[in-house]
Amino acid sequence: MYVCLCKGITERQLKEAIAEGHSEFMDLKRELGVGAQCGKCIPVALAILAEETAKN
């Protein structure tokens, strides 16, 4: 499932980047570009980040 349509970033890519240690939203933005254009994906990306970091 695509999280960020502007940059074509999937939920899986986000989860992989989080697992690799990108534990802050700004890290994900720098690494993948998520949220760097229209910003509509930011709430979803933050929710995935919170969910994934809560697992660790």
The Cα 21–Cα 39 span in angstroms is: 22
Instruction: Using DSSP, state whether 32 is helix, strand or coil.
Output: helix
Among residues 48, 49, 55, 56, which one has the least CA distance to residue 1?
Answer: 48
Give the residue, chosen from 19, 38, 47, 50, that forms a contact with ligand FES under the rule CB under 6 A. 38
Q: Kindly determine how many residues on this chain lie close enough to bind ligand FES according to the rule CB under 6 A.
A: 12
Q: Counting contacts by CB under 6 A, is residue 37 touching ligand FES?
A: yes
Q: Counting contacts by CB under 6 A, is residue 35 touching ligand FES?
A: yes
Q: Counting contacts by CB under 6 A, is residue 14 touching ligand FES?
A: no
Instruction: Name the DSSP letter for residue 36.
Output: S
Contacting positions for ligand FES (CB under 6 A): 4-7, 34-41
